[in-house]
Chains A and B, each alone.
Chain A
Amino acid sequence: MSAEKSPELRELSYAEAIREAMDIALAADPRVILMGEDIGVYGGAFQVTGDLVHKYGTDRVMDTPISELGGAGVAVGAALTGLKPIFEFQFSDFAALAMEQIVNQAAKVRYMLGGAVSVPLVMRFPAGSGTGAAAQHSQSVEAWLGHVPGLKVVQPSTPEDAKGMLLAALEDPDPVMIFEHKILYKMKGHVPEGHYTTPIGKAAVRRTGQDMSIVATSLMVHKALSAADQLAAEGIDCEVIDLRTVRPMDRETVLASVRKTGRLICVYEGVKTLGVGAEVSAMVAESDAFDFLDAPIVRLGGSESPIPYNPELEKAVVPQVPDILEAARNIAKGRI
């Protein structure tokens, strides 16, 4: 996508792009409300809502009590009765506290009432490690919710997608869970003006290549792109796919890439076992793209460990650029 209109592409941070999306939605649709702990005057744990409370007032930008289960329950109820709440968690780890409302209510009510109602709810989850926030504030739990039919789960990796996917989520009649990597909040990038949507369920090919496909999510997309640059200098031509949506997964984009390259690396920050990459791998192995595989599939995911507080250990338990380089070289040189 290019913006012919302006020679200087407008840049916003990922957090600013999300705030702009919420601002646009609040202005355009009176049913849209923001809910969450400290999102009002404080501006949100990561300053994403910022000063929106001053523009739209406390009726539409509501601080909720320190009970994720209670807040989520109110949000589900509001969605059922005609509002479009955007509920912010302070940390995605706290999804655990609200599981009943997310998994047993939001995801299932429409089904159980025969389609008579829907839950147009958006939940935002600051996710991932790298901030020194230790084991209970650093996890990547998108696979928990990706396992639940009735939910949509997305992981935008750029400011442009962060805005576009939030606006797309608001147009969706069903609950959409947005995992925002905390390290990305300060990342700057081009963000188009005004209202636009980035489709949910559609992956983005961030770099085209012939030798292997790297399917990555969230922050790992940037690590994969950085690795791909170094690998290109070594003559290893990687295709990098930003999965963007965990559920429903973009089968066609991934399979087409694997059919072309014959090799697959999945890079994701969540725990490797039973994670997003496991699903991508299985999807490929079960498909006709299997016949195009010329090397074993490799998954790079989080270690079988809580995220440590120690900064060096914190880096060690999630995939880093050197891990991607090593995996790609091993595959390219036929060592695995």
Chain B
Amino acid sequence: MPVEVIMPKVDMDMASGKVATWHVLSGEHVEKGTPLFDIETDKAAMEVEAEASGILHHPVAEGVDVPIGQPVAWLYQEGEAVGEPPAAVPLAASEDKKASPPADETERDPVSAVKADRVEPQQYGAADNVRATPLARTIARDAAVELTEIAGTGPRGRVQAADVRGKIDARQTETPALQFQAESGPLNISRSRADKGIPVVLIHGFGSDASAWKPLEAYLKGRPVIRIELPGHGKSPKLRIDSFAELSSVVRRAFDTLDIERAHLVGHSLGGALALSLADTRSKSIASLTLIAPGGLGPEVNGPALEGISKSTRAESLGPWLKELVFDETMITDGYVKAAMASRKEPALRAAQARLCDTLFPDGVQSFDLKAAIGRLDVPTRLIWGKNDAIIPWRHALRAPGNIALHLFDGVGHTPQFEAPAEVGKILRQVYDGAS
């Protein structure tokens, strides 16, 4: 029988709350005691941990007001049939839920349990499992919009016509430079040959790809390395990403497929923000976290440089922006620029990155805020930053709590792993040899 996840009462005079962010996606497994969602009330925002282990299903949409005591999702056991969401229990019953299980008693009846096992989820409701009004479905069908991509603002997350129209409008207001044929599929993951010890999982930054880790990898010899390429970057599919949360979920799904028990996680810039978000939800799988000039700790970012890199169509325009990344501009040779441009020659890749840039850094601002996440990390974490970073100000590092070690490098820009790979490698080895 699925376990109900209810909107908790965290405030004395709280009548309802909103799920601000799910840390776990529908269909994902969650361990008891790990962060399940963030709630927002009139007064406060806070994290709620899972009260049981299980697979999350039927989560309410983010941003929807839910009365306290009402279910926001259900946790199912492995192999348990997932049909329609169990009927919402009345408030009075849920307040007393420890005394008596609220769900239908007949589910315990072995005959109906067998029947339930035979039920395919698709047999109930719409094939896409999205709660949507008929009009929303009509409009979405006519405009070839996927309802699964839309956050419903109606009751219980119901997608309404206005939600679909909003999605269509957003699409139409995109400039042609941001339009590309969205792809699907898992992110590209590459691995080194080594297989002894806890692997190092690397997440690159915006506009980059897995090859950017080469200089650093030279100092990680002998340790298995796993590189995740972000959507629209390197060999990963060009997914349509509409929010940091969505990007974060995609990376989390990629991480979950790695089939490893624990990982040393390293992220750079946007990859740092994603690594931080990942560590926030997968803390038990993270042996250590190293954030190199990570995003998400403040609003400032060098917007023109990010936009310039994503949109440049030739080496002549790309070169000056690449030089913003480093302190010593002589490192950005003509050959380096040409090779970088060659890896970005596909217009669809540039459009996907330009759109991602517009989504994550609208008006040249970091639209996502991970200060709360870094504040609650219970993973050994280090911050590495160049004091001459011209992309994200190193002073953002000061927003991290005191238990996080900070390594600051003079004469280094936004890419310590490229500009000072030996020093960064040394820090990592110290961490890893300690943890083995």
Taking Cβ atoms with an 8 Å cutoff, the residues of A that contact B are 262, 290-295, 334-336
Interface string of B153-193 (1 = CB under 8 A from A): 11100101100000000000000000000000000000000
What's the least CB distance linking B46 to chain A, in Å?
25
By secondary structure, the B interface counts as helix
Taking Cβ atoms with an 8 Å cutoff, the residues of B that contact A are 133-138, 153-155, 158, 160-161
What's the least CB distance linking B125 to chain A, in Å?
15
Q: Which residue of B lies closest to A294 (CB)?
A: B135
User: B158 contacts which chain A residues (CB < 8 A)?
Assistant: 334
Bound CA span A293–B135, Å:
5
The 7 closest A-B pairs by CB, nearest first: A294-B135, A291-B138, A294-B161, A293-B134, A294-B133, A334-B154, A262-B135
User: B153 contacts which chain A residues (CB < 8 A)?
Assistant: 334
Is there contact, CB below 8 Å, between B154 and A292? no
Is there contact, CB below 8 Å, between A290 and B160? no
Q: Which residue of B lies closest to A336 (CB)?
A: B155
Q: Decide: A292 near B134, CB < 8 A? Known: A262-B161, A334-B160.
A: yes
Is there contact, CB below 8 Å, between B137 and A291? yes
User: B161 contacts which chain A residues (CB < 8 A)?
Assistant: 262, 294
Bound CA span A295–B138, Å:
13
Q: Which residue of A lies closest to B141 (CB)?
A: A291
Known: A262-B135, A334-B160. 4 other contacts (CB 8 A): A290-B134, A291-B138, A294-B134, A294-B161
Is there contact, CB below 8 Å, between B138 and A335? no
Bound CA span A336–B154, Å:
8
Q: Which residue of A lies closest to B133 (CB)?
A: A294
Is there contact, CB below 8 Å, between B135 and A292? yes
What's the least CB distance linking B67 to chain A, in Å?
11
Q: List 18 A-B contacts (CB under 8 A).
A: A262-B133, A262-B135, A290-B134, A291-B134, A291-B135, A291-B138, A292-B134, A292-B135, A294-B135, A294-B136, A294-B160, A294-B161, A295-B133, A295-B154, A295-B160, A334-B153, A334-B155, A334-B160
Looking at B134, B153, B161, the one whose CB has the most chain A CB atoms below 10 A away is B134
User: B135 contacts which chain A residues (CB < 8 A)?
Assistant: 262, 291-294
User: A294 contacts which chain B residues (CB < 8 A)?
Assistant: 133-136, 160-161
Is there contact, CB below 8 Å, between A293 and B133? yes
User: A295 contacts which chain B residues (CB < 8 A)?
Assistant: 133, 154, 160
Looking at A290, A293, A294, the one whose CB has the most chain B CB atoms below 10 A away is A294
Is there contact, CB below 8 Å, between A292 and B155? no
Bound CA span A74–B155, Å:
57
Q: Which residue of B lies closest to A291 (CB)?
A: B138
User: A290 contacts which chain B residues (CB < 8 A)?
Assistant: 134
What's the least CB distance linking A90 to chain B, in Å?
45
Q: Decide: A292 near B160, CB < 8 A? Known: A334-B154, A334-B155.
A: no
Option from B133, B136, B137, B155 in Cβ contact (under 8 Å) with A335 = B155
Q: Which residue of B lies closest to A334 (CB)?
A: B154
What's the least CB distance linking B325 to chain A, in Å?
46
What's the least CB distance linking A190 to chain B, in Å?
38
User: A292 contacts which chain B residues (CB < 8 A)?
Assistant: 134-135, 138
What's the least CB distance linking B126 to chain A, in Å?
13
Q: Which residue of B lies closest to A330 (CB)?
A: B155
